[in-house]
């Protein structure tokens, strides 16, 4: 079975590393970007099965990344899970308006639960 390709766009080094290690150990093919700009380039080039995206990012924030990916016919159907510590209803609403599939608050989710949500989203996509 082909490994599912996940693109992680997260600038916080510790969180980035922990996510990467956990996802790899769970059998995913993981790509990573430390800022929004590289994230968009990688998504267009690699066409991952799912994007795990932070909101507060250098160069381009999560909303901009989402807008660009949703505008591009090649990337618009890629599900995007927002993984952030912003939790105001305005942020959550804005994220869904811009096309997020799921919105997760980092501190409320264990890595195990993040993986569950990824699998659930990939399951729905297929």
Q: Enumerate binding residues for other proteins (CB under 8 A).
A: 12, 14-15, 18-19, 21-22, 25, 56, 85-90, 92-93, 105-108, 110-112
Determine the longest span between alpha carbons in the chain, in angstroms: 40
Distance (Å, whole) CA 122 – CA 34: 23
CB of residue 120 to other proteins, shortest distance in Å: 11
Whether 24 contacts 30, CB under 8 Å? yes
- CB count within 10 Å of CB 79 equals 18
Measured from the CB atom, is 43 or 114 closer to other proteins? 114
CB of residue 106 to other proteins, shortest distance in Å: 4
Measured from the CB atom, is 5 or 106 closer to other proteins? 106
CB of residue 71 to other proteins, shortest distance in Å: 25
Measured from the CB atom, is 25 or 77 closer to other proteins? 25
CB of residue 45 to other proteins, shortest distance in Å: 28
Q: Is 58 exposed, middle or buried (0-12, 13-18, 19+ CB in 10 A)?
A: exposed
């Amino acid at each position: 079975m082909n490994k599912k390709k996940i693109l992680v766009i997260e600038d916080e080094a510790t969180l980035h590393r922990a996510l990467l290690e956990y996802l790899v150990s769970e059998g995913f093919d993981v790509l990573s970007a430390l800022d929004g700009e590289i994230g968009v380039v990688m998504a267009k080039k690699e066409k991952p099965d799912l994007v795990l995206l932070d909101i507060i990012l250098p160069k381009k924030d999560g909303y901009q990344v989402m807008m660009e990916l949703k505008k591009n016919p090649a990337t618009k159907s890629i599900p995007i899970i927002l993984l952030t510590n912003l939790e105001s209803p305005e942020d959550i609403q804005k994220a869904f308006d811009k096309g997020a599939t799921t919105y997760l608050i980092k501190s409320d989710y264990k890595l195990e639960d993040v993986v569950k949500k990824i699998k659930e989203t990939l399951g729905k996509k297929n």
